[in-house]
């Protein structure tokens, strides 16, 4: 089938599902931090962590996004998405360990810069990966961009429901809060890892996606 011929079908809506999950996965780490603010406020009661996360994450993400929009290079798109989701996976996995709780026990306010630094890194890789995925969705029919945006819009709801479910599972108290947070970040890490595999392994094999990507590259 030629590149200028009829497009193959998106079998089972798999490509659409991929872009929906990419949208959710891109914002899942940020939503994970701000939704778990009860845990961070427990570790640093005077830290006002919810405000600090926003102050750290948003300017870094917007600056990186601006740089990518000015010096966008399509050849680096796949690498930037890989960097984004792999970094997300690692950071969420680190948050799922007792590391943060152990760091906070020293009593120093400087220890809060560990999660704040992690949120800054998330802002950087978000700014790197998001334009690349938007560019890939732009190759496809408009409905796939809508699927990606639907995923980003759904990220907050998905993560909030995940937080509620994990807290209900472990109950109240410090141990329950810590255990629920560990499970919560573990699941968030799993979502990011799934997005990484989908983008690296599954999406490139889809004839539907390859048809539109190759046609765009020929222009």
pLDDT band at 202 (very low <50, low <70, confident <90, very high): very high
Predicted local distance difference test score (pLDDT) of residue 5: 65
Segment 123-129 mean pLDDT: 95
Please say if the pLDDT value at position 3 is more than 70.
no
pLDDT band at 209 (very low <50, low <70, confident <90, very high): very high
Give the range among 46-60, 132-146, 182-196 with minimum mean pLDDT: 46-60
Please say if the pLDDT value at position 65 is more than 80.
yes
Predicted local distance difference test score (pLDDT) of residue 219: 61
Segment 6-20 mean pLDDT: 93
Cα gap 147→150, rounded to integer Å: 5
pLDDT band at 208 (very low <50, low <70, confident <90, very high): very high
Predicted local distance difference test score (pLDDT) of residue 107: 56
Please say if the pLDDT value at position 184 is more than 70.
yes
Other CB atoms closer than 10 Å to residue 13's CB: what's the count?
13
CATH of 20-213, one of 3.20.20.220, 1.10.10.10, 1.20.1250.20, 3.100.10.20: 1.20.1250.20
- Domain map of the chain by residue range? 20-213
Sign of the dihedral through C-alpha 149, 117, 81, 22: negative
Convert the pLDDT of each residue in 83-95 to its tens digit. 999 999 999 999 9
Residues 6+ apart with CB under 8 A from 167: 176, 177, 180
pLDDT band at 198 (very low <50, low <70, confident <90, very high): very high
Mean pLDDT of the chain: 89
pLDDT band at 215 (very low <50, low <70, confident <90, very high): confident
Buried b (16+ CB within 10 A) or exposed e, 54-76: eebbeebbeebbeebeeeeeeee
Please say if the pLDDT value at position 43 is more than 90.
no
């Amino acid at each position: 089938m030629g590149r200028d011929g009829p497009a193959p079908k998106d079998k089972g809506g798999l490509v659409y599902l991929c872009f929906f999950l990419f949208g959710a996965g891109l914002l899942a780490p940020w939503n994970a931090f701000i939704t778990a603010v009860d845990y961070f406020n427990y570790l640093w009661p005077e830290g006002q962590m919810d405000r600090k996360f926003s102050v750290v994450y948003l300017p870094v993400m917007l600056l990186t996004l601006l740089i990518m929009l000015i010096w966008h290079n399509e050849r680096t798109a796949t690498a930037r998405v890989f960097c984004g989701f792999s970094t997300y996976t690692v950071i969420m996995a680190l948050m799922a360990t007792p590391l943060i709780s152990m760091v906070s026990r020293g009593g120093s306010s400087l220890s809060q810069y560990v999660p704040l630094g992690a949120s800054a890194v998330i802002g950087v890789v978000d700014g790197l990966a998001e334009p690349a995925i938007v560019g890939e969705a732009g190759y496809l029919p408009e409905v796939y961009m809508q699927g990606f945006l639907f995923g980003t819009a759904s990220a907050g709801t998905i993560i909030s429901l995940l937080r509620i479910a994990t807290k209900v599972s472990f109950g109240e108290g410090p141990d329950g809060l810590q255990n629920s947070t560990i499970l919560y970040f573990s699941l968030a890490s799993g979502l990011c890892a799934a997005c990484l595999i989908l983008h690296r392994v599954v999406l490139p094999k889809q004839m539907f996606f390859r048809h539109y990507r190759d046609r765009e590259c020929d222009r």
